[in-house]
Every structure is written in C-alpha cells, then in structure tokens.
Amino acid sequence: MIRFIFKGLLRDRHRSALPIVVVVTGVFLTVFLQCWMTGILGDLVDFNARFTTGHVKVMTKAYSERIEQTPNDLALVGTTALTASLEKEFPDMEWIQRIRFGGLVDAPDAQGETRSQGPAVGWGIDLLSGDSKEAERMNIRKSIVRGTLPAKSGEVLISDDFATKLNVVPGDQITLLGSTMYGSMTVYNFKVSGTVKFGSGALDRGALIADLHDVQLALDMPDAASEILGYFKTDVYDKELAAASVTRFMNTSDPNDNYAPVMMSLRDQNGLSSMVDYMDIVSAIFIMIFVTAMSLVLWNAGLLGGLRRYGEVGVRLAVGESKGHVYWSMVMESVLIGLIGSVFGTAMGLLLSFWLQKHGIDASAFMKNASMMLPSVFRASVTPESFYIGFIPGLFATVIGTALAGAGIYKRKTAQLFKELE
C-alpha cells in the first residue's frame, strides 16, 4: 500500500510537489528558528560564564554587594586554603582564582614620561601554571591579534583597540596605575606580550590580562583574590546542581560576617536570572507561535489538497472503491508527504544551523559602544530538540489537515456522484 502510494506521489507531481514544497519550507524555518534562538541564548550565558560569572562564584559578602565596583579592598583572603577546601567539598567542579581590577594604563615616551594613557579593565588569571585551562576558557589563544600569550612573569596582554589607542606594540613597556587591596596607590610596570580582540565592545575597549601572581604582586594581594570561580568539569552549566551547591555552601557561611565567603550561581549574577528567564519565555512563545502558525498553514495545505481532489475522490468512489479505503489512502499519502517534507526541511534547517553554529554572524559593527558583556558573533546551536521539532508542524499538522478534509468523503452520496460525473 505504502509503496503504491509512494509511486503515485512520484508519478503525479501535480499532486505532491506543492504540498512537499510547503512542508519543506515550513519545517526548515521552524528548525532554523529554534536553533538560532537556542544559540543566541546559550552564547550569552556561556560568554558570561567564561568571563565573569563562572558556573558558580565565591566571593566575600561585602564584595558581592558592590560587585560592579570590583572593590578589591573587600576581596577574599586565604584563597589557597579556601580553594583547596572547595576542591575537596565540590569535586565535580574546577575551582580557579581571579582578580578583577580597574586602573589607568600609562605608556611612557623615551624619557619615561607619560606619552599616552587610558582606563583599563583588568583580569588577573592563571596563565603561567602548566595545567591551567584559563587561556582556553577565555578563548585567549584564538583571540590574539599580535604577539603571543604571556610566557613569563611581568608580561601582559592588552586589547588590540586599546593598544592602537595607546600606540603600543608587543614588546613595549606599559605602567599600571591603580589601587592596592589596602587602598594604597600602586604603580607597576608590565611588558606587552601581545594584543587580543574578543569581539565584545565592553572588553575590547580597554582589557588588560595578566598572570594572577603578577596582579597579586601589583595590587598587594598575596594569597588573596577578588573571586573564586567554579566550573563544572563537564563544561556544561547544570542549573539544579549549581543551585544545590550554593545551598550547601551557604549553610556553612556566617550571615553576620561581611568578609565571610558567599557562593552565587551563574543565574544569580549580572541579572542573568531575569534575563535568561525572560529570553526563555520569549523564545518559547516565539517558537510556539511560529510552530502554531506553520501548523495552520500546513493544516490548510492538507485541507486544500483534500478539496482539490474532490473530483478524483468522486471517480474513485464511483468505480467502487470503499469510502474507508479512499480516506485512509489519502491520510497515508499525507503521512508520506509530511514525512518527506519534514525530513528534507529538517535536513535543510540543520545544515544551515550547523553552518551558523560554526561560523556565526558577526554583529560587532553594531556593538562597538555596547557596555554589556555580549558576544559580538551570534551563532546557532543544534540541540537534540532541533531534530524533531520540525515534525510537529510538518507531519502532524499536514496529516490532521488531510484527515479533517477527508472526512467529507463519508458525506458523499453515490447518486450524486454519477450526477457530478455527467
């Protein structure tokens, strides 16, 4: 039966071509939209996790309350012991120390006096210990425009735009002017080993990345850090597991001590919780509306297909085919059309999505002045859901449409059929 119907579809292109094109188009758009929305949301969360929030973050209570000022006078102390304790208590996560700081970067002239200067946003991260994954996590190696990663103490990376503004090149000396953990002034010389471009306006304006130990020396923060970030060893953010870790950690934290370490999950930082929830809802509504609209279109296509073949059904009934057989053959036909259309549409949607997952769309030109931590290259993301979501409008809506239109077959009267044929 299926083979017969399939042959019929192949041989009578008038009957199959348009419905298949409509189904392919609808399914393609549905799959692509789902991948695109998932990709943008995922990128946003991932970007924030890698650069600022971690999957969870430990800092002092006082620091967490004024985190936007990166107040290093309120930083964690005794971080070696604290990190060791976190590694023991939460072995499913990798724990890393970071120092975030602000300051002024000054480039000297030949006499050692100020030639150019500009405000910098700095990161002290573990770059020089052999087993550190920080350079990979922050995608630094791939972001290098000129020069190399710092290979020894005293070397630093700065953003390429910042280097251009200061008129410095790899090999030049720069001076960081900032505040120590105890509020004193610090003036510390670095050698620029390379320049980087992350593709985020907020980072590319004035980023400075140095080894954690150098920054500890510069800011007088021995065995101290602004924050300790935890990343799941699977590299995937697990909302429930992160929340459970936070609850477990906070049970041991003293709420009355301003310098007691507190833990926050990714969702609790940078307003990501409300933003992720909002985007989740918006994207779900958007996809639902789209799937519903596509379902209606394809349902209608099924209905129209049924009505268009009014004459054919009449002839088939007139020559003695049973109503049930005609009906089920039409439903089977729509199942085949839906399946073929959904498979092709999903394949096309996935192909484009895979391409955009790899290459992305560069929106940096529109984000030069963005102050939020946003990636400037937006990518699609193919998820297991992407492989079946297109079948909802593609297969089910088409079949239901045909099934409803086909119900009219049972209302046809034999006497009228002959009259119609005349």
Where on the chain is the footprint of another protein (CB under 8 A)?
A: 62, 73-74, 104, 106, 108, 112-114, 117, 119, 175, 177, 179-180, 182-185, 187-189, 220, 258-259
Instruction: Give whichever of 75 and 367 is closer to another protein, judged by the CB atom.
Output: 75
Q: In angstroms, give the least distance from the CB of 155 to another protein.
A: 16
In this structure, which amino acid lies at residue 206?
A: G
Side-chain half-sphere exposure of 133, counting CA atoms within 13 A: 11
Instruction: Give whichever of 183 and 320 is closer to another protein, judged by the CB atom.
Output: 183
Instruction: Give whichever of 180 and 364 is closer to another protein, judged by the CB atom.
Output: 180
d(CA 228, CA 223): 12
Q: In angstroms, give the least distance from the CB of 206 to another protein.
A: 12
Contact criterion met (CB below 8 Å) for 122 and 156: no
Instruction: Give whichever of 184 and 251 is closer to another protein, judged by the CB atom.
Output: 184
Instruction: Give whichever of 225 and 405 is closer to another protein, judged by the CB atom.
Output: 225
Instruction: Give whichever of 183 and 255 is closer to another protein, judged by the CB atom.
Output: 183
Q: In angstroms, give the least distance from the CB of 119 to another protein.
A: 7
Q: In angstroms, give the least distance from the CB of 368 to another protein.
A: 20
Task: Give whole-number Cα distances, 307 to 192, 301, 341, in Å.
Answer: 74, 10, 20
The secondary structure element, H or E, covering residue 174 is: strand 173-179
Instruction: Give whichever of 114 and 247 is closer to another protein, judged by the CB atom.
Output: 114
Q: List, in order, residues 6 or more apart from 410 with CB less than 8 Å away.
A: 323, 327
Instruction: Give whichever of 259 and 387 is closer to another protein, judged by the CB atom.
Output: 259
d(CA 207, CA 120): 6
Q: List, in order, residues 6 or more apart from 400 with CB less than 8 Å away.
A: 299, 302
Task: Give whole-number Cα distances, 275 to 146, 212, 316, in Å.
Answer: 35, 31, 58
Place of tokens 């990714």: 266
In this structure, which amino acid lies at residue 286?
A: F
Q: Which residues of 274-308 are buried (b: 16+ CB within 10 A; e: fewer)?
A: ebbeebeeebeeebeebbeebbebbbebbbbbbee
